[in-house]
């Protein structure tokens, strides 16, 4: 080999080794950054679950009022005519005490004559009961008189479609200590000891009079034999840093993918009149790539068949207009008799990718 060729081959080898070292260094640097970021995650709040939350008794329904007695307009008309045409009878009624009871009888019979409807009296009785003063006060002053649920863990089972039919388990955990809270959502495809895939979402922040105020959000997706993919968001007082690095202004009441479940519990607890078919709730939501106002419509009340019996819940579904391609829509079923907790969750990406979670057993709670 000529000296010039040998020199060129040597230079090429050096460049190849340098490039390999550069790529390897970047790989290790990224892995160290992930480990460093994981090490910087806030310590997970701990709770000891000591009791099982029972389903509250259904509110008593008012007994229907008895039907009115049959009216006798003909008899009343003849009686009134007889009284009007006989002045002497009126005089004798005034003089004789025995005839006094006839007057109340005539008044009672006169009351049975059909009268023009009174708009105030014709309103259904249950309209006034649907929004009692306490609920109205809560609607005008959110958070007043509201007590956050004790730290709670809900276990689910799910089925769905994700590269074929899948089954698994999930857990939503709400933990709070003083003004601080954490919400953890974990899904396991297949058995937990050797899952085919896992999704983890965590929200960490403060509890305020207006609900939850996230300070950071972290998510991790891991498929068997693959490296985990992580993303996170940071919430400042006036702006939010999304997972793609962009910074956007922080709107009031902003939530993340994990905190939205507990925030909806808060909203419907302080304004129960909104949990009716046809009502809607607007919730600003921060997703890894953008921020948008999500409108959640109350579809209606449904009966869920769980392992511990039938349970009434309201189906709350977001409108998909604001979703971007590849993002997931999250529907929830809120159970008023279980402290307005989400007892069913449906996560939909498209027709071929969805998971349907149903509560597996009654929630576990801490003492406080």
Confidence class of residue 136 from pLDDT cuts 50, 70 and 90? very low
**pLDDT tens profile 62-80:** 445 555 565 544 443 444 3
CB atoms under 10 Å from CB of 364, counted, come to: 19
Backbone angles phi, psi at 143, to 5 degrees: 95, -20
What's residue 367's pLDDT?
87
What's residue 318's pLDDT?
92
pLDDT mean over 124-128: 32
Is the pLDDT assigned to residue 12 strictly greater than 60?
A: yes
Confidence class of residue 215 from pLDDT cuts 50, 70 and 90? very high
Structure tokens at 33: 């950054």
Residues 317, 343: Cα–Cα separation, whole Å: 14
Do residues 251 and 284 lie in contact, with contact meaning Cβ atoms separated by under 8 Å?
A: yes
For the chain, the residue count is 368
Is the pLDDT assigned to residue 329 strictly greater than 70?
A: yes
Do residues 281 and 293 lie in contact, with contact meaning Cβ atoms separated by under 8 Å?
A: no
Query: Where does 151-365 sit in CATH, by number?
Result: 2.50.20
Is the pLDDT assigned to residue 264 strictly greater than 90?
A: yes
Instruction: Please indicate whether residue 98 or residue 329 has the higher confidence score (pLDDT).
Output: 329
The residues near 154 (Cβ < 8 Å, ≥ 6 apart) are 171, 172, 173, 341, 342, 343, 359, 363
Confidence class of residue 20 from pLDDT cuts 50, 70 and 90? low
CA-closest candidate to residue 310, choices 58, 60, 61, 59: 58
CA-closest candidate to residue 286, choices 242, 252, 343: 242
Instruction: Please indicate whether residue 132 or residue 149 has the higher confidence score (pLDDT).
Output: 149
341, β-bridge pairs:
335
Residues 249, 232: Cα–Cα separation, whole Å: 17
Is the pLDDT assigned to residue 93 strictly greater than 80?
A: no
Residues 212, 255: Cα–Cα separation, whole Å: 7
Instruction: List the domain boundaries for the chain.
Output: 151-365
**pLDDT tens profile 268-308:** 999 999 999 999 999 999 998 999 999 999 999 999 999 99
Structure tokens at 31: 């892995």
What's residue 350's pLDDT?
82
Residues 6, 172: Cα–Cα separation, whole Å: 64
Is the pLDDT assigned to residue 180 strictly greater than 60?
A: yes
Confidence class of residue 1 from pLDDT cuts 50, 70 and 90? low
Residues 278, 297: Cα–Cα separation, whole Å: 7
């Amino acid at each position: 080999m000529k000296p010039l060729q040998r020199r060129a081959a040597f230079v090429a080898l050096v460049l190849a080794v340098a490039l390999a070292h550069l790529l390897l260094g970047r790989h290790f640097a990224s892995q160290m950054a992930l480990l460093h970021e994981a090490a910087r995650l806030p310590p997970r709040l701990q709770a000891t679950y000591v009791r099982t939350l029972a389903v509250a008794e259904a509110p008593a329904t008012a007994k229907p009022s008895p039907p009115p007695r049959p009216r006798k307009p003909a008899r009343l008309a003849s009686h009134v005519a007889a009284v009007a045409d006989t002045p002497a009878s009126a005089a004798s009624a005034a003089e004789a005490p025995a005839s006094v009871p006839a007057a109340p009888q005539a008044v009672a019979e006169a009351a049975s004559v059909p009268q023009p409807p009174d708009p105030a009296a014709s309103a259904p009785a249950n309209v006034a009961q649907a929004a009692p003063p306490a609920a109205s006060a809560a609607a005008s002053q959110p958070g007043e008189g509201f007590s956050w649920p004790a730290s709670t863990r809900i276990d689910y089972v799910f089925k769905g479609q994700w590269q074929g039919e899948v089954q698994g388990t999930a857990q939503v955990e709400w933990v709070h200590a003083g003004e601080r809270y954490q919400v953890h959502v974990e899904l396991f495809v297949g058995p937990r000891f050797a899952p085919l895939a896992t999704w983890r979402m965590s929200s960490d922040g403060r509890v305020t009079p207006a609900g939850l105020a996230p300070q950071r959000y972290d998510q991790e997706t891991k498929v068997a034999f693959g490296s985990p993919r992580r993303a996170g968001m940071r919430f400042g007082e006036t702006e939010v840093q999304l997972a793609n690095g962009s910074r956007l202004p922080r709107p009031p009441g902003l939530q993340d993918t994990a905190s939205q479940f507990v925030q909806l519990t808060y909203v419907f607890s302080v304004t129960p009149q909104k949990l009716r078919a046809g009502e809607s709730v607007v919730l600003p939501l921060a997703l890894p790539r953008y921020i948008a106002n999500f409108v959640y419509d109350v579809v209606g009340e449904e009966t869920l068949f769980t392992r511990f019996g039938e349970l009434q819940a309201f189906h709350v579904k977001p409108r998909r207009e604001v979703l971007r391609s590849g993002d997931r829509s999250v529907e929830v079923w809120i159970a008023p008799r279980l402290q307005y907790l989400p007892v069913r969750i449906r996560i939909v990406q498209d027709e071929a990718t969805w998971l349907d979670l149903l509560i597996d057993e009654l929630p576990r709670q801490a003492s406080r």
